[in-house]
Amino acid sequence: MNIRAQIRYWLSLNMSNYDILAEQMTKILNKKYTRGSINAKLSRGTLTVKEFETIAKIFNYKLEVKEK
């Protein structure tokens, strides 16, 4: 799964953008996020599981790990 593509998909479904996502993440995680910082983490592959879980929660999704 391409995480960047998944986040873009959720943003488009919710008619949102990275700026709004950054504001919501800042409120929830009490750490400053910007459009650029999120994009940089996605480019470098350093987005944490906690951050991805938070993004999923913002869009009303739940991450689930299953055994194959």
Band of pLDDT at residue 1, cut at 50, 70 and 90? low
pLDDT above 70 (res 19): yes
* Confidence (pLDDT) at 49: 94
- Pick from 61, 31, 68, 60: nearest CA to 48: 31
CA distance 16 to 35: 12
- Determine what percent of the chain is predicted with pLDDT higher than 70: 99
